[in-house]
Amino acid sequence: MDLPAVTILSLGGTIAMTQGETGGVVPTLTAEALVGAVPQLQQVARVKAQSYRQLPSAHLRFEDIEALAASLRHLAGAGERGFVITQGTDTIDETAFALDCLYDLDVPLVVTGAMRHPTLPGADGPANLLAAVQVAASPAARGLGCLVVMNDEVHAARYVRKLNTSRPDAFASPACGRLGWLTEGRLRLASRLPDVPRVVSSPQPRPAQVALLPACLDDPGDMVRALLAAHAFDGLVIQAAGGGHVTAGLADALETAARSMPVVLASRTGSGDVLSSTYGYTGSEIDLLRRGLIRAGLLDGHKARVLLTLLLRHQGADPGAIAQAFQAWSNDHP
Ligand code: ASP
């Protein structure tokens, strides 16, 4: 049988960790070692392994993900039929979404990792890697953008969230549910997402810092004022309460911020659309949108920060283009 060519690129994370000298586990295993531990992979695909980074996922940077997206484009041009990225799970919900924003190919792309490191009983890395390759090798996964496969479940990168610190079932997509799952190694898709125009990659991204701040009870808005005074940021995402609500003081500070940078209104609830036309008091979503904030729609605060950062790095600060991108990525039809 002619098996599809799937390349596995490893970035580090728990799936690749072994005991270090300072007491805890640290990333040491290569992509070859990860592949060698799962002989069943050879029945699914012609697997190639490439060690790309060896980092805990908290150390990954936008530059790493941009370089990875460029490498994937190159490999796809050489005939690869699927990609699997292995990495730490702590930031998968951000890195997979960043990849998704930059990935404009039909070739299946799956990110996976492990919640239990290889030396623990019940280590989930090998099963997750096998499931990820099964999805990446499946023609049904073409054109779905970046997927996250963990615990035999298939999530869209744009909605997946890590919701537990240590359990193998830590991942879920609270905004709209998982896209599918695996049964006996076969991909079962329950839904598909609409296609979205990707961020147009620039060969020389500009540096851009986007702050992510939570709105809190009795918040006077001083954090936003301090941030503006620091002149260190190019954009801001505010995680407002409920459907997009803040205090009057914070609303004033956000209006000031929106005069000099894009300010995106997300919800700290972690699920559900930011509202647009329900509440009319000072600091409500209607008020904040009138003051110039951009709706994150269905994207949570962390993903909104990823999208805004990539837009600023690659496409610039045009407010119309930024608002349009948020509308598209949050599945928000006028
Ligand atoms: N706990 C993490 C993991 O699951 C560590 C990391 O994100 O690198 O891989």
What structural domains and CATH numbers belong to the chain?
5-189 (3.40.50.1170), 210-327 (3.40.50.40)
Q: Letter for the amino acid at 258? A: A
Q: Up-side HSE of residue 111: CA atoms within 13 Å toward CB?
A: 34
Residue whose CA lies nearest to ligand 1 atom number 9: 88
Tell whether ligand 1 has an atom less than 6 A from the beta carbon of residue 14.
yes
pLDDT > 70 fraction of the chain, expressed in percent and rounded: 99
Q: What is the pTM of this model?
A: 0.97
Catalytic machinery residues: 14
Confidence of residue 331 (pLDDT cuts 50, 70, 90): confident
The answer for residues whose C-beta is within 8 angstroms of residue 318's C-beta and 6 or more apart is none
Q: Letter for the amino acid at 96? A: A
Which residue out of 29, 57, 86, 150 has the highest number of ligand 1 atoms within 8 Å of its CB and is therefore the one to mutate?
A: 57
Residue whose CA lies nearest to ligand 1 atom number 4: 89
pLDDT computed for residue 213 by the predictor = 98
Spatial contact of 137 and 4, defined as CB atoms under 8 Å apart: yes
Q: What is the pLDDT of residues 202-224, one digit of tens each?
A: 999 999 999 999 999 999 999 99
Phi, psi for 14 (deg, rounded to 5): -55, -35
Which residue out of 10, 11, 14 has the highest number of ligand 1 atoms within 8 Å of its CB and is therefore the one to mutate?
A: 14
Give 229-233's long-range contacts (Cβ < 8 A, gap of 24+).
233/209, 233/261
Q: Which residues of 119-144 are buried (b: 16+ CB within 10 A; e: fewer)?
A: eeeebbbbbbbbbbbbbbbbeebeeb
Say which residue the tokens 């190639």 belong to. 48
Tell whether ligand 1 has an atom less than 6 A from the beta carbon of residue 13.
yes
**Average pLDDT score over the chain:** 96
d(CA 269, CA 323): 21
d(CA 79, CA 155): 25
Q: Compute the average pLDDT of residues 174-197.
A: 94
